[in-house]
Amino acid sequence: MTRTKNGLTMRRWLSVALPAAAMIVLLALALFAWKQPLPLAQFWQRDATWQAMQSRGSWRVGLDPSFPPFEMLDDSGAVVGYDRELAHNLAADWGVDVEIVTIGFDSLLDALRAAKIDAIVSAYPYDERLTRDVAFSQAYFDAGLRLAVRQGSTIQGTDDLAGRRVAVEWGSEGDMIGRQLQRDGLALELVPFETPQDAVAALVNGSEVDALLVDNVTLRTQQAGGTPLLGVGPHLTSNPYVIVLPRRATELLQRTDAGLAALRSGGVLEQLELRWLGR
């Protein structure tokens, strides 16, 4: 009797204790997953954005068509540019269409948060301050600061700027980095201009300046237009353009990163740059 009674007592205890222990474990795991950055949280939640895309058969891409050559309107009013082609290349691999939604740049994040679009593909710079609110893809273009010179110049990098006159746009990042180089002891003279185009013209059309500190987009678009400029040395700053996604769109993020990596390794990103930005 004693053995049977003890066995019954043990079974009764287990019938109460095991569910309680299981609940504690589940609560602990839920708390752990909640505190973890994505993609661990995807264990608990499916990617609603990706599921909606599959059901709808389209990827709703928000962009502001006022930043050529990445996004702009052609003569017929259709959206064209680097980012449009990038989006179509990614979506083709996923088997969905691209639905372009034109939105002012300052309203893109609000549209994403309100689920009016599935992603932002609009030359959007990476911003670490937003990583708690949205997810960022890997970079597909770096718009950071470059040192540019005339063709045939002997300047190969910032170390060669001592005693040189360097064009910058007033108040730009180039202006800031130029002043930093001066504070670091490099004896260069900064020559400020109202616009980057004025700075480019001063370098190309005369002997007023010897070099130019300019963002990579301006440099590449000037080169695409036939301006005889050369970018020398590495990027002086980094300003990566990324695709912005809802924070919980974990599957879409993984597929976007994989797609960008495939486009890079396959030479497609290079082809897009040559098409829209020149050499």
Cα(189)–Cα(194) distance, rounded to whole angstroms?
17
Retrieve residue 105's tokens. 């740049």
Tokens coding 118: 């599935």
Q: Note the pLDDT tens digit of each residue in 212-263.
A: 999 999 999 999 889 999 999 999 999 999 999 999 999 999 999 999 999 9
Residue with tokens 């990596």: 261
Mean pLDDT, all residues of the chain: 87
Residue (of 99, 97, 96, 122) closest to 109 by Cα position: 122
For residue range 48-97, what is the model confidence (pLDDT) as tens digits? 999 999 999 999 999 999 999 999 999 999 999 999 999 999 999 999 99
pTM for the predicted model, two decimal places: 0.79
Count of residues in the chain:
279
Instruction: Give 15: exposed, middle or buried? Use CB within 10 Å, 0-12, 13-18, 19+.
Output: exposed
What domains does the chain contain, in order, with CATH numbers?
42-142+240-277 (3.40.190.10), 145-232 (3.40.190.10)
